[in-house]
Structure 1
Amino acid sequence: MTEVLHKVVDETRQGEAYAPFVNDPNLFSKKFYIESYGCAMNFSDSEVIASILNDEGYGSTRDYEVADLVLINTCSIREKAEQTIRTRLQAFKKVKEKNPGMLIAVMGCMAERLKAKLLEEERLVDIVVGPDAYRSLPGLIEETTGGQKSVNVLLSREETYADIAPIRLDSNGVTSFVSIMRGCNNMCTFCVVPFTRGRERSRDAVSILNECRVLFDQGYREITLLGQNVDSYYYTGADGIDVTFAALLESVAQIDPLLRVRFSTSHPKDITDDVLHTMAKYHNICKYIHLPVQSGNTRILQQMNRTYTREWYLHKVARIRTIMPDCGISTDVISGFCTETEEEHQDTLSLMQVCDFDMAYMYSYSERPGTLAARRFTDDVPEAVKSRRLAEIIKVQKDNQAISYRADIGKTFEVLIEGNSKKSENDWSGRTTQNKVVVFPKGDAGLNKADYCHVKIIHATSATLIGELV
């Protein structure tokens, strides 16, 4: 299967679809400014949007006050994210008052849910465009220049933007995202994604491999395969060949041993032994899995419609560590979901102790309008209780994480250099295969960004490994 995929890629990789982008200001008569919030998929979508605008004669700018078009790619996963976006829109609106020709567009997950408020009630934006309608953006811009507001939030069962070469915005030139699928079928009760991004569909495997190959040729040394649930990836080509996620992962790894491969996000119910054995087989597939658990209690997991139990999740973690003892695992945790009791909260804390996660994204429950939870359940856990439980979750994770990082002292890791350390230009910063950040002195080794090197860990904080070149 992988041989067939690579044969097709080799025949098509010289096509124009993935030509490098040169953002020369002299080539463009108009400027766009874009901000992205939320998940990696939103940032990846912004790169697709930049490519579409590039074809329409727009070049990017880092100063929104001089932009002809200001875009904000939004996230609805939590109320705080929406509040942040509204604040930014108010700032853009003040600039627009001085420059009436400026257009303001809202894209992404807030677009469908709040289109009426943003366009009519609050008059903060000129254009609203949903995640599956980015190809219509040039037409919406043209409509809006005539004085009317424009909107397209229609969801699609086919759109994957497979033929659009993303423009790598704010790239470090070493790591990049590659979208392999869109949408989600899981219908977790707390989540808006199925309603804002539509049903699950997988991108053409050949176009994925083509994009990854071109990124490698351009000097990138790490790609992250993106999807709301990457383990559900499944594509049947015109030749009738079925491609699973395990097969796609193997094909990407075979592009070159120097190309690191990561992926996000995995749903615990879908990650298979085939995927785990493929990860173990290839050195350049990073030994790191993001495996959101959300809660450590089976009843709450059922309320969330996560379709697995506490015991099932623990078995999956054990299976990962049996096949890959050195695999890093991170997770997502929600405190204070509807009807959660104190005993059920304690189950989450105990699961975290057992799993010993390397990293976690931790939140208190934020009811999102339109979700199944908002329609079915009462958000009955007081905010003070949610906050206290979240603080306890964070403490357990911080303590576990500190132990995990200290356990790496004395070990030597292969590190891909991503750039200068944030604190000093005399130090390099990179990551291990387990996704842990490593900082170490440059010395006189003559290393450059995108080089691999071996680093011995001599010190650790709860979030960073400090090392020295071997």
Structure 2
Amino acid sequence: MKKAFYLETFGCQMNVVDSEQIAALLTGLGYHQVGSAENADLVLLNTCSVRDKAERKVYGHLGRFKPIKDKRPDLIIGVGGCVAQQEGEKMLEKVSYLDLVFGTHNIHRLPELLQEVEQNRQRGCETTFHDRDTRLNLFPERTVQESVTRFVTVMQGCDNFCSYCIVPHVRGREISRSSSDIVAEVKSLVAQGVREVTLLGQNVNSYNLKNDEDVSFPQLLELINGIDGLQRLRFATSHPKDLTAELINCFGSLDKLCKHIHLPFQSGSDRILKLMNRGYTAADYLDKVARLKLVCPEIRLTTDIIVGFPGETETDFQATLDLVEQVRYADAFTFLYSPRIETAAAKMADDQSALQKQQRFDRLLDLQQQISAEIWETDSDQVLPVLVEGESRQGEGQVFGRTTWNRIVNFQGSTDLIGKTVAVKITKVFRNSHVGELAEAE
């Protein structure tokens, strides 16, 4: 009888790809995936530690599994990902019923760790960082899935060491895959029916910056844009300091590159940006945004913003509001600053009260929601190309897809449309999605 595993994934798209590798490894060991921990022989959490709330959520979820373990002592519980990398052996000390911990460089060790638990009831932990060559050989073979869209990892790690960010500490230093491997993977995915790929990296803009022997990121985009059968191309996440003129020009020259970019600015204050070690000023950022809009007038931007960074003043915060009003983002991911161990910002003095931070956060949220509503309302009554991805969660014979701006659109349609780009007239605009109807052919 096959054993069952239950897997929860937290955090970024990179973790989604890692979970795909975890699932493939477990399938190879004879496991099958189930939708609840109660029905599993193995429970795994693939975790995120980018903010304190995400880390606390992991421990909260582990607590949910204790009653199941009490009833079934043979249940194996494991934690992987960034929290595992950060905490290591401490997780085993904190959670007595946890069996195994594996870090971001050690997904390939999971079968070995699992065997130790199954056969010897030996709790295990592996959080070793590997060198560049070893890591490049550990990029997984992609599994066959019925999917219209897929993520493709082009690089891992980060060398920026922004003062608030734990990513370099839990993901390691930057490495870039060879362009030939990436192109081959995309071609393979397209042959399986994939029509849109999103290239992933902690900072995709720095792809191969330290390797003159392979192509640059804009050149990689050109290569992938030329793959027959691929309809759309996206990438995330971008660091503004590495957004070159060559990359900006891709939005005007590559027909498959979607007219959307996620470009975190974090703060509109030059003083705070310097403390954050971001490597650009507000003026630098606004100049690049202006060039993006010049090259591609239809482009829409999304961003990340941190409120309450240590030492932030009302003047600093007002500069952030001013930048939001100037750029007019379609959407923004807004966060209250959360100190992370090992980062430089965690040691900085901070005299702001929690109430003050929350009030600023609410002001920012109100402004951004107003701007988002105005931008998305312009889609109303427009006929837009939508790549159909699958059946809608709304049911009732609806399918869903996304616009070039990554906006979900639900509409009445046959599942025969999945994988095709169709013209949809937008009839209703909600906060997080659109409703539309198939446009009649002219």
Same fold (TM over 0.5): yes
Q: For residues 160 and 278 of structure 1, what CA distance do their matches in structure 2 show?
A: 27
Partner of 2:360: 389
Which residues in structure 2 correspond to 1:84-163 (within 5 Å)?
84-145=57-118, 146-158=120-132, 159-160=135-136, 163=139
2:299 paired residue number: 327
- The equivalences for 1:156-171 within 5 A come to 156-158=130-132, 159-160=135-136, 163-167=139-143
- Backbone CA RMSD of aligned residues: 2.0
C-alpha distance after superposition, 1:410-463 (max 9, x if no partner): 432111012233324333321111112223333xx7852111111223332333
> Identity across aligned pairs (percent)?
40
Alignment of 1:464 with 2:433, yes or no, is: yes
1:9 maps to none
Range moving further from structure 2, 52-61 or 181-190? 52-61
Question: Does the aligned pair in 1 maintain the 2:146–2:193 contact within 8 Å?
Answer: no
Structure-1 separation of matches of 2:318 and 2:22 = 44
Q: Do the aligned partners of 1:50 and 1:166 also contact (CA within 8 Å) in 2? A: no
User: How many Å separate the matches in 2 of 1:173 and 1:122?
Assistant: 37
Which letter maps to 2:421? Y
Q: Residues 64 and 242 from structure 1, CA distance in 2 versus in 1: closer, same or farther, beyond 3 angstroms? A: same
Select the residue among 401, 407, 411 that pairs with 1:430: 401
Partner residue, 1:290: 262
Structure 2 distance, partners of 1:93, 1:446, is 41
After superposition, what is the alpha-carbon deviation per residue over 1:266-314, rounded to whole angstroms, capped at 9, x for unaligned? Answer: 0001122222222322221111110001111110111111111111111
Matched residue of 2:271: which SS?
helix
In structure 2, which of residues 173, 178, 183 is the aligned counterpart of residue 199 of structure 1?
A: 173
Distance change >3 Å, CA 97–CA 324, structure 1 → 2: same
User: Once the 2 structures are TM-superposed, how far is the Cα of residue 230 of structure 1 from its aligned partner?
Assistant: 0.5
Q: Does 1:405 align with 2:376?
A: yes
Letter in 1 for 2:288: K
Length-normalised TM-score, structure 1: 0.88
1:69 aligns with 2:38: no
* Aligned position for 2:420: 451
TM-superposed CA distance for 1:193, in Å, is 0.3
Distance change in 2, residues 1:221/1:113 (3 Å) = same
After TM superposition, give the deviation of residue 342 of structure 1 in Å.
Answer: 0.8
- Count of equivalent residues: 436
Q: 1:105 to 1:161 in 2, by over 3 A?
A: farther
- CA separation of 1:38 and 1:309: change in aligned 2, threshold 3 A: same
Q: TM-score, normalised by structure 2?
A: 0.93
Q: Which residue number in structure 2 is paired with residue 10 of structure 1?
A: none
What's the CA shift string for 1:72-92, capped at 9, x where partnerless?
011111111112111111122
Tell me which of 274, 277, 283 is aligned to 1:305: 277
Say if 2:190 and 2:229, in contact at 8 Å, map to a contact too: no
The AA in structure 1 aligned to 2:425 is: K
1:343 aligns with 2:315: yes
Contact 1:235/1:242, CA 8 A, preserved across alignment: no
Deviation of 1:205 (Å): 1.9
Post-superposition Cα deviations, 1:15-52, rounded to whole Å, max 9, x if no partner, equal xxxxxxxxxxx7xx332221100111111111112222
Q: CA 1:120/1:162 → structure 2, altered by over 3 Å: closer, same or farther?
A: closer
Q: Aligned equivalents of 1:205 and 1:123: distance in 2? A: 44
Q: Is residue 2:249 matched to residue 1:277?
A: yes
Which residue pairs with 1:414 in the alignment?
Answer: 385
Question: Which amino acid in structure 2 is aligned with residue 165 of structure 1?
Answer: E
> Contact (CA 8 Å) 1:430, 1:438: kept in 2 or not?
yes
Who is 1:223 aligned against? Answer: 197
